[in-house]
Chains A and B, each alone.
Chain A
């Protein structure tokens, strides 16, 4: 992708409908459909057939929040059922989820639902033709910021994205070359707060069993 320096004012006003966070999100979706497919060597599959699944997209948004990429996103532990069975807590950004919906409403991304072999459903996204037109208008500094996060800070190797969904799921972003592990992805670990609680005994327990 490149910046079209000669883009028209009309097109420039199109990109201005997106906030900076939405631009980062849009460019991230574009980047992920290529990265997850094979790093920098991704040209063998026609781009329009590639969709990014919801769960890895959420994991990357969390990774970007922790790295300070977004201005307005935060995250909260949320219980998500994987394939209709076990329920896991993930650090989900509802601001991110909301912006994904906004991009859909603007017809910049498409959403697809597909069944899984475990009889659950998976949601995935891809960029529309209109979205592709907007992509070229995203400022270079936004693209650079997104790019920068996917390269190892130490050896500059492109990071790997690993997802293993089993009884003990694992989602990792790590460097294939480097032993230094600065990019531990705690997407599946809820952060603790301190709190104090006291028991509350149901007043209506007899009514529930009597």
Chain B
């Protein structure tokens, strides 16, 4: 595959390289048993595991015998499922790329009724290079994966879920995701992990993937970097327990990220409610233009607040579910490093506090 190309306009200075990286893209999306059953019907799950082509298009002309597709498809194979609890998929993304760019993008997708989705893959090759892959190039793969995973899951969501995402993010194709990288080795090793925070090349490359302010940890023989956008774990023996701790941390980080966006939206609604009150007062004074606008404003506002209230319920249940799994898991050096329970409790408190504001908006 040495003819694999890129269209990067600049010469990259690549410093850090990770061996045989696995990438986990994790996001929080509102799912419950009903949403999952709906998804499983869409996948035609009872008819076996043949490949199904999916699209996010809605059939707007039910009476028409044909329809036109966009050329953007996802091939999906169901590997394992429980009708109202989870589904495990294999997906092949078929999105046209620029000339010279070859992307053979296959990933696993795990969707839980506890409202988290994990897209996971082994990266075999970037630009013709395998084994050790640079963080600089990884950041470009992940930018692609973040966008493509949004397109992919969009074809699996119900209209109900799409509406949720549109209300929180505006443009649901662009939403934050948590990325966890796991590699078997790293090319630069420091006895003192704080040497990675050199203020120069190493730290800058880690910033690219994890965001500024990330922290390194040495846990027995493993090296962990935690940041606001995700984690990098350098682990020689990637046991199931380590996989569980990394994914659990990614899920709590995805919840936290969603709660950030959720709270921003609530404060915006608070402003909109105040502005609607002003219009109502104008209408009461006899302003006919305000009178015409007021009904529309109130309808949109109450409908949005109602959806936000439903999302709050999804978040509450999801947090309880993930927290209980966290508490049941074995305490290890790695679990202490990730400290998922503490972060989840913080998110849980924020979600609980949001209820007061939502109730206030409705009155």
Using a CB–CB cutoff of 8 Å, the interface residues on chain A facing chain B are 65-66, 72, 74-79, 81, 83-89, 92, 94-95, 97-98, 117-120, 167-168, 186, 190-205, 207-209
Hey, which chain A residues are within 8 Å of B215, CB to CB?
none
Q: Closest chain B residue to A92 by CB distance? A: B208
- In the assembled complex, the Cα of A83 lies from the Cα of B265 at a distance in Å of 10
Hey, which chain A residues are within 8 Å of B128, CB to CB?
194
Interface presence of B297 (CB below 8 A): no
- In the assembled complex, the Cα of A168 lies from the Cα of B169 at a distance in Å of 12
B124 pairs with A197, CB closer than 8 A? yes
- In the assembled complex, the Cα of A159 lies from the Cα of B140 at a distance in Å of 30
Q: Closest chain A residue to B325 by CB distance? A: A208
A205 pairs with B171, CB closer than 8 A? no
A190 pairs with B86, CB closer than 8 A? no
A191 pairs with B208, CB closer than 8 A? no
A199 pairs with B264, CB closer than 8 A? no
Interface centre among A81, A86, A98, A193 (most CB of B within 10 A): A193
Hey, which chain B residues are within 8 Å of A83, CB to CB?
264
Using a CB–CB cutoff of 8 Å, the interface residues on chain B facing chain A are 1, 4-13, 22-23, 79-80, 82, 85-86, 88, 90-91, 97-98, 100-108, 110, 112-114, 116, 118, 120-128, 136-137, 139-144, 146-147, 168-171, 174-177, 199-200, 203-205, 207-208, 212, 229, 240, 243-244, 247-248, 251, 260-261, 263-265, 267-268, 271, 325, 329
Chain B interface mostly helix, strand, loop or mixed? mixed
Hey, which chain B residues are within 8 Å of A75, CB to CB?
10
A119 pairs with B122, CB closer than 8 A? no
- In the assembled complex, the Cα of A57 lies from the Cα of B136 at a distance in Å of 22
B176 pairs with A87, CB closer than 8 A? yes
Hey, which chain A residues are within 8 Å of B86, CB to CB?
205, 208-209
Hey, which chain A residues are within 8 Å of B127, CB to CB?
193-195
- In the assembled complex, the Cα of A77 lies from the Cα of B176 at a distance in Å of 14
A194 pairs with B108, CB closer than 8 A? no
A79 pairs with B143, CB closer than 8 A? yes
Q: Closest chain A residue to B238 by CB distance? A: A203
- Tell me the minimal C-beta distance from B272 to chain A in angstroms: 11
B123 pairs with A195, CB closer than 8 A? yes
B175 pairs with A86, CB closer than 8 A? yes
B171 pairs with A194, CB closer than 8 A? no
- Tell me the minimal C-beta distance from B171 to chain A in angstroms: 4
Interface centre among A78, A120, A167, A201 (most CB of B within 10 A): A201
Given contact pairs A75-B10, A200-B108, A209-B114, A194 touches B101 in the complex (Cβ within 8 A): yes
Q: Could you write out 12 A-B pairs with CB less than 8 Å apart?
A: A76-B139, A77-B142, A84-B261, A167-B171, A168-B171, A194-B1, A194-B102, A194-B128, A195-B105, A200-B120, A201-B90, A202-B108
- Tell me the minimal C-beta distance from A184 to chain B in angstroms: 11
Hey, which chain B residues are within 8 Å of A85, CB to CB?
168-170, 261, 264-265
- Tell me the minimal C-beta distance from B141 to chain A in angstroms: 5
- Tell me the minimal C-beta distance from B191 to chain A in angstroms: 24
Partner of A74, one of B91, B106, B107, B136: B136
B103 pairs with A195, CB closer than 8 A? yes
B8 pairs with A191, CB closer than 8 A? yes
Hey, which chain B residues are within 8 Å of A86, CB to CB?
169-171, 174-175
A192 pairs with B7, CB closer than 8 A? yes
Hey, which chain B residues are within 8 Å of A201, CB to CB?
79, 88, 90, 108, 110, 120
A94 pairs with B208, CB closer than 8 A? yes
Hey, which chain B residues are within 8 Å of A199, CB to CB?
90-91, 106-108, 120-122
The 3 closest A-B pairs by CB, nearest first: A84-B264, A194-B4, A77-B143
Q: Closest chain B residue to A105 by CB distance? A: B199
A78 pairs with B208, CB closer than 8 A? yes
Hey, which chain B residues are within 8 Å of A87, CB to CB?
169, 174-177
Hey, which chain A residues are within 8 Å of B136, CB to CB?
74, 76
Hey, which chain B residues are within 8 Å of A78, CB to CB?
139, 143, 208
A119 pairs with B268, CB closer than 8 A? yes
- Tell me the minimal C-beta distance from A130 to chain B in angstroms: 21
- Tell me the minimal C-beta distance from B170 to chain A in angstroms: 5
- In the assembled complex, the Cα of A158 lies from the Cα of B261 at a distance in Å of 38
- In the assembled complex, the Cα of A109 lies from the Cα of B101 at a distance in Å of 41
Beyond known contacts A168-B171, A193-B137, A198-B124: 15 more, CB 8 A cutoff: A74-B13, A74-B136, A75-B10, A81-B176, A81-B261, A89-B143, A94-B204, A194-B1, A194-B103, A197-B122, A197-B123, A198-B106, A198-B122, A204-B240, A208-B116
Partner of B113, one of A94, A118, A203, A209: A209
Hey, which chain B residues are within 8 Å of A120, CB to CB?
264
- Tell me the minimal C-beta distance from B66 to chain A in angstroms: 30
- In the assembled complex, the Cα of A143 lies from the Cα of B137 at a distance in Å of 33
- Tell me the minimal C-beta distance from B204 to chain A in angstroms: 4
